[in-house]
Structure 1
């Protein structure tokens, strides 16, 4: 009797061991398949690169609350195969942006959103220099990837530099759009600029709510390109 119980216990343990072993293999196999599926999905995703300054970077707020991340949320909700890269850097001018552009062009962007120039304007940099740099950035993207769609984010500045400079700065983006035949967001901060409730205490950078409005402004021009 005792031997029979020992044998019966042995077979029970063997069966349980076999079951858990198979279960573990099954779970491991499922995990491997899911990881492979995620890799394939990421490889098939088209890249949307937001290349800009602190407005793109989301200065003063968490990056997931900045408008590029909100655009990714919209894309994900529609189950579209696009991946957003936030290439914003606080303090960026058109000149420094041109210098670091190559780092972001190692992978082809399907859409390139160019948001630069505001810091040039606030510093009173000659518009000929700003215009030259914006054109150079666009031309470098076109040369590297002729099929990439380019969207230029228009900007306006306070009248501190005088009415002539301010007006010329505002019209510069539309002129570049026409010359380079690219898309245009007429004014990135439409409905946000000048509203203290939608900007941080510095009066320049949008709050989380401000970024939600900016995301809607960008989406109107971006969505038709997807």
Structure 2
């Protein structure tokens, strides 16, 4: 009878230990929060074909157990991202935050100082919440003027350097600056076609992988 009792105790202890291990494992699973605009929200694409969705497949292929939360909204600006970041951090408790915003700021001609301030605020908020940050940069066409073009492109690197984050200099590298750029974009000339999104992921992946290590 005593032996049976101990066996039951051992069995219960094993169950509890297993449950605790499972909880620890679950707690250690990276959560990647993507806060972006239409370039990350699959604008004009079939669901599941954008670079963020492809990221989930890449993670599985690399045998990295991570959860991806896509909180991107078409048309969003850095100001919009800033206003909704805190609730997202509280809800999802991400270990990594990818910030892909700024393009719409440029399209609307918003002051660069405001864009920089918003990116810096979001970066600090994510870091204070315990997340590692990856800034995804954007560039604008030369018709915006060389001074604006240079300063806009440089602000992403400036924020990344200041707060020691990961950086993708240009999400559309190899697409917008490629030999046949027009063929890789939808009719509006702004949003990439489905065929372009694997390249977009290839631009993001090396920097994200560094942070996941």
Answer whether TM exceeds 0.5 for this pair. Answer: yes
**Structure 1 residue aligned with 2:54:** 70
Matched, 1:138 2:139: no
- Does 1:167 pair with 2:150? yes
CA contact (8 A) 1:124 1:161 kept: no
Contact 2:126 2:132 in 1 (8 A): no
Cα distance per residue 1:78-135 (max 9 Å; x no partner): 2221011111100000111101112211222111111000000111101011111111
Tell me the secondary structure at the aligned position of residue 62 of structure 1: coil
After TM superposition, the structure 1 = structure 2 runs for residues 53-202 of structure 1, keeping only pairs within 5 Å, are: 53-106=37-90, 107-145=92-130, 148-193=131-176, 195-202=181-188
Given that residues 193 and 204 in structure 1 are in contact (C-alpha distance below 8 angstroms), is that contact kept between their aligned partners in structure 2? no
Give, in whole Å, the separation in 2 of the partners of 1:172 and 1:44. Answer: 33
Give distance in 2, aligned partners of 1:144 and 1:220: 24
Q: 2: CA distance between counterparts of 1:189 and 1:42?
A: 34
Matched, 1:51 2:38: no
Q: Note the C-alpha offset of 1:160.
A: 3.1
SS in 2 for 1:121: helix
The structure, 1 or 2, with the larger RCO (C-alpha pairs under 8 Å, 6+ apart) is: 2
Gaps of 5+ in 1: 1-35
State which of 164, 167, 189 in structure 2 corresponds to 1:203.
Answer: 189
Is the 1:44–1:81 Cα contact (8 Å) retained in structure 2? no
Q: Given that residues 51 and 112 in structure 1 are in contact (C-alpha distance below 8 angstroms), is that contact kept between their aligned partners in structure 2?
A: yes
Instruction: Return the offset for 1:201.
Output: 0.7
Structure exhibiting the larger radius of gyration computed from Cα positions: 1
SS of aligned partner of 1:64? coil
Cα RMSD (Å) of the superposition? 1.8
Structure 2: gaps (5+ residues): 1-18
Per the alignment, residue 212 of structure 1 pairs with: 198
CA distance in structure 2 between the partners assigned to 1:44 and 1:180 by the alignment: 24
> Which structure features the higher share of helix residues?
1
**Structure 1 contact 57–63 (Cα < 8 Å) conserved:** no
Q: State the number of aligned residues.
A: 187
Pairwise CA distance, 1:179 = 0.9
The answer to whether the 8 Å contact 2:166/2:211 transfers is no
